[in-house]
């Protein structure tokens, strides 16, 4: 890199966390809950993935996406004063030095182990480090081509799965892209010039201060309520929506004596022909695979309960699943220096019956439930009120997070115990109606097809992306399903805290989910059991065995 003037003083910028960002940060302090990890595997010439090139590329990304370079400041108990803090680098070389502190190269550790350690091992991220990359170098797989495993670690309060995939594509483009269409990959010098331009544009003395840290999604939402009356009206709207979310089905958890999380990741992958059949059937039935997966899990749970009659006592209640809605497409750019690395999520529930009528074709019921899930999601996601509702739900999440954080801080001695009024009331409190339960069975995250919609392999032909997959560090007793299509293959992931469940229970549930795709979506029971299933963190094949549940 050529010589570049150094700023006379290194400015520091601050921004308060929004309630939704706070709801992800506060629970993470103990063992890293909400740290998201994603591994991408690609093949490339080793000259494109040298420590210097990766350091420059990561420095460019940290300049373009300032939350990657921020840290968090919080005084004990000051939950309303938590702030992102950004110190701009004083020069391009200083930007590389700062970026290098969050990159680790490993020659003697497999990418699978790095990924497993990131999800279940000692925490790497912290309040001082909101992002990082671990890189496993594998040997030569063909003449002049090596395999690389990049494990991206970003705190969930600054990103979502779409942002993670965009960051992976961005890194590939910087490492393997060309200055001119069809030309050779950039040299180290050309990559360094990009860094210098970014530093000059974003860190020079003419820098506009309020552009330093991207505003929160809540601040970017236009027409947000500004008065107490409107806030109260939106809160009533929120409560009315919550009353519709009735559910009484959960997978029972075992009692445990510690909070050590041991994640297990089951991943079923369908071949290209089966994936094409899945997509064709969903299109013919006027639903997406994301809609159909709610029905798949619904039917799988019903079968599990038929196989294990003692599993649930509330057969009269419907089944509830939760999911997230990405709001980035609704938001206007906050500045010419906008960033896609930020949290912009709304949350919604899908409620489906927990039984299958005996006098109606089960396949017909299945597709009807897929369309019902579609109706519920479409109604919420496409409502003109969705952005204001996201602000309200974020406030509620933030309030809950602060309440639980205070309990945790009092329990570990960080804060003194709160004095509570123990006075016995003179008259008994009035009787209140008991609200219907709203227990969610599982969370379902539908990532879509990032290779087709996010990745731009034509911009970096020297880098061949092979696979990607990721999840967040879960808490004790956690379980979540995720679907992903990548390079023409559909997959269903189930990540759960293994010690929290009866041995074999989640595997059986998962088997019904995988079998349900063959039987209900593709419509060919002869394919049951043919999906490739691996224990993703251990790269071992898994045979899903379980008792036969009620057939369709």
Chain position carrying tokens 């991408």: 40
**What confidence score (pLDDT) does residue 435 get?**
60
What is the 8-class DSSP label of residue 119?
A: H
Which residues face 481 on adjacent strands?
444, 494
**What confidence score (pLDDT) does residue 432 get?**
40
Distance, CA of 84 to CA of 218 (rounded, Å): 15
Sorted by sequence, the CB contacts under 8 Å of residue 472 that are 6+ apart come out as 33, 34, 35, 36, 37, 156
**What confidence score (pLDDT) does residue 6 get?**
53
Sorted by sequence, the CB contacts under 8 Å of residue 394 that are 6+ apart come out as 18, 19, 20, 23, 218
Q: How far from 442 is each of 293, 315, 351, 380, 445, CA to CA, in Å?
A: 12, 17, 12, 19, 10
Sorted by sequence, the CB contacts under 8 Å of residue 368 that are 6+ apart come out as none
Chain position carrying tokens 């809605």: 325
**What confidence score (pLDDT) does residue 210 get?**
60
Question: pLDDT per residue over 58-89, tens digit each?
Answer: 999 999 999 999 999 999 999 999 999 999 99
Distance, CA of 255 to CA of 215 (rounded, Å): 42
**What confidence score (pLDDT) does residue 429 get?**
43
Distance, CA of 181 to CA of 14 (rounded, Å): 39
Chain position carrying tokens 């701009």: 88
Distance of CA 506 to the CA centre of its chain: 21
**What confidence score (pLDDT) does residue 297 get?**
98
What is the maximum alpha-carbon separation in the chain?
A: 85
Please state the three-class secondary structure of 78-120 as a single string: CHHHCEEEEECCCCHHHHHHHHHCCEEEECCCCHHHHHHHHHH
Distance, CA of 106 to CA of 101 (rounded, Å): 14
Smallest CA-to-CA distance from 84 within 220, 205, 202, 216 is with: 216
Smallest CA-to-CA distance from 470 within 441, 495, 490, 506 is with: 495
Which 3 state secondary structure label does DSSP give 227? Answer: coil
Smallest CA-to-CA distance from 77 within 26, 128, 35, 124 is with: 26
**What confidence score (pLDDT) does residue 205 get?**
62
Q: Which two tokens stand for residue 485?
A: 């299509």
**What confidence score (pLDDT) does residue 270 get?**
95
**What confidence score (pLDDT) does residue 543 get?**
65
What end-to-end distance do the CA atoms of the chain give, in Å? Answer: 66
pTM: 0.91
Q: What is the mean pLDDT of each run of 10 residues along the chain (552 residues)?
A: 54 92 90 89 97 98 96 95 94 96 93 89 92 94 95 95 95 96 94 95 68 88 67 80 88 82 91 96 97 98 92 84 93 81 94 93 96 96 92 93 92 82 46 66 94 96 95 88 96 94 94 96 91 83 58 54
**What confidence score (pLDDT) does residue 223 get?**
52
Which residues face 472 on adjacent strands?
36
Distance, CA of 377 to CA of 324 (rounded, Å): 10
Which residues face 469 on adjacent strands?
39
């Amino acid at each position: 890199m050529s010589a570049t003037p150094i700023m006379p003083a290194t400015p520091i910028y601050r921004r308060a966390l929004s309630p939704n960002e706070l709801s992800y940060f506060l629970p993470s302090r103990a063992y890293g809950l909400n740290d998201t990890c994603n591994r991408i595997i690609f093949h490339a010439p080793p000259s494109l993935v040298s420590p210097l090139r990766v350091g420059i590329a990561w420095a460019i990304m940290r300049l373009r996406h300032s939350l990657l370079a921020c840290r968090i400041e919080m005084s004990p108990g000051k939950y309303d004063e938590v702030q992102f803090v950004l110190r701009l680098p004083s020069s391009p070389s200083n930007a590389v030095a700062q970026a290098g502190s969050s990159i680790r190269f490993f020659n003697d550790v497999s990418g699978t182990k790095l990924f497993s350690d990131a999800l279940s091992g000692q925490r790497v991220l912290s309040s001082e480090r909101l992002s990082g990359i671990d890189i496993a170098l594998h040997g030569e797989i063909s003449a002049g081509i090596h395999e690389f495993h990049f494990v991206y670690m970003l705190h969930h309060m600054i990103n979502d799965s779409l942002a993670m995939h965009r960051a992976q594509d961005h890194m590939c483009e910087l490492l393997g892209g060309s200055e001119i269409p069809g030309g050779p990959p950039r040299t180290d010098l050309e990559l360094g010039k990009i860094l210098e331009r970014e530093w000059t544009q974003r860190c020079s003395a003419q820098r506009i201060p309020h552009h330093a840290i991207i505003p929160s999604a809540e601040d970017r939402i236009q027409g947000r309520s500004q008065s107490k009356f409107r806030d109260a009206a939106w809160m009533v709207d929120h409560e009315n929506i919550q009353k519709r979310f009735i559910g009484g089905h959960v997978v029972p958890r075992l009692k445990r004596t510690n909070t050590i999380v041991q994640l297990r990741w089951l991943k079923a992958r369908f071949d290209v022909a089966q994936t094409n059949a899945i997509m064709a059937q969903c299109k013919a039935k006027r639903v997406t695979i994301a809609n159909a997966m709610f029905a798949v899990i619904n039917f799988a749970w019903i079968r599990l309960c038929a196989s294990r009659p003692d599993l649930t006592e509330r057969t009269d209640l419907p089944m509830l699943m939760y999911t997230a809605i990405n709001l980035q497409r609704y938001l206007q750019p906050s500045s010419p220096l906008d960033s896609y690395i930020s949290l912009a999520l709304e949350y919604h529930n899908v409620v489906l019956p927990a039984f299958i009528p005996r006098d109606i074709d089960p396949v017909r019921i299945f597709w009807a439930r897929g369309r019902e899930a579609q109706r519920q999601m479409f109604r919420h996601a496409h409502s003109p009120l969705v952005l204001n509702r996201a602000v309200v739900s974020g406030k509620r999440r933030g309030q809950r997070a602060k309440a639980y954080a205070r309990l945790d801080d009092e329990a570990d001695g960080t804060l003194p115990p709160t004095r509570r009024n123990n006075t016995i009331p003179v008259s008994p409190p009035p009787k209140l109606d008991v609200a219907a339960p709203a227990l969610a069975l599982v969370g379902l995250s539908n990532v879509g097809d990032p290779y087709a919609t996010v990745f731009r392999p034509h911009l970096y032909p020297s880098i061949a992306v092979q696979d990607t997959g990721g999840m967040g560090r879960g808490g004790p007793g956690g379980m979540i399903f995720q679907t992903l299509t990548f390079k023409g293959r559909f997959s269903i992931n189930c990540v759960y805290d293994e010690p929290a469940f009866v041995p074999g229970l989640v595997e059986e549930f998962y088997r019904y989910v995988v079998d349900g795709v063959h039987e209900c979506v593709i419509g060919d029971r002869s394919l049951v059991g043919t999906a490739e299933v691996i224990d993703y963190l251990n790269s071992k094949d898994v045979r899903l065995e379980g008792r036969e549940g009620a057939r369709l």
